Amino acid sequence: MLEKLSLAKILFLDIETVPIYPSYEDVDEELKVFIDKKLHIDVANDPESLQNYEKAGIYSEFGKIICISVGFVSETRTGRQMRLKSFYHDDESVLLKQFKNLLEEHPDDFQLLCGHNAKEFDFPYICRRMLVNGIKIPSILDMAGKKPWEVAHLDTMQLWKFGDYKAYTSLALLCHIFGIPTPKDDINGADVAKVYYQENDLKRIKKYCEKDVRALIQVFLKFRGDQLIDEAEIHYSED
């Protein structure tokens, strides 16, 4: 069925998140109560548990989005092209509004959203952070009241499972087995908070996020039995 989908109607995406506070010591005392419970932090009895704060960014209640990268595939006279674009900012509300504008300005162009593990992470995280920032959720992201077949979301991890719910398969592993150049050639997810808070290098994170979207699209093409898009046909939007 994948081969019947119009690639031009799919918006591929990936997000990068970090803890809202750069360190546990910066968290206000009221919020610490919730973080301690969720991340099993007990500084008094187990000082080592403080390391668990590094995971705060994966929870939308304690983290924020610093980058959303998107990818588009189009047909040209010479073949397929891939275009990549990123919304990234220290102010989460700014990038979320920019991303929302993209979705709402092109409702006919983007009829499906696709990510890796996006149904469990990216899509709900974006929706939750939009609510926190007082931003109305775009229709294509809003699942409320929709029947399962009305939800316009694709997930390459779910597609790879073929109904098997026991395993998690990373995008990097899929790239390896399909012979796709890995996006993990600079930093990895565990490094994002450090690069953001200690190195103040948001553009480096943006490039990392775009590599994931590039890999995501190539994996999706493999799922369809299609040829990969040539490196010369991958284009990045200027900042």
| CB-based burial label for 42 (10 Å; 0-12, 13-18, 19+) | middle
Query: Is residue 120 a part of any domain in this protein?
Result: yes
Amino acid at 202: L
pLDDT (tens digit per residue) in 82-129: 999 999 999 999 999 999 999 998 777 888 999 999 999 999 999 999
Q: What's the structural domain count of the chain?
A: 1
Query: Is residue 41 a part of any domain in this protein?
Result: no
| CB-based burial label for 175 (10 Å; 0-12, 13-18, 19+) | buried
Q: What percent of the chain has pLDDT over 70?
A: 98
Residue 13 to residue 237: CA distance in whole angstroms: 15
Query: Is residue 133 a part of any domain in this protein?
Result: yes
Query: Is residue 33 a part of any domain in this protein?
Result: no
Residue 207 to residue 209: CA distance in whole angstroms: 5
Which pLDDT score, from 0 to 100, does residue 183 have? 53
Query: Is residue 26 a part of any domain in this protein?
Result: no
Range of the domain at 211: 2-20+62-236
Query: Is residue 70 a part of any domain in this protein?
Result: yes
Query: Is residue 202 a part of any domain in this protein?
Result: yes
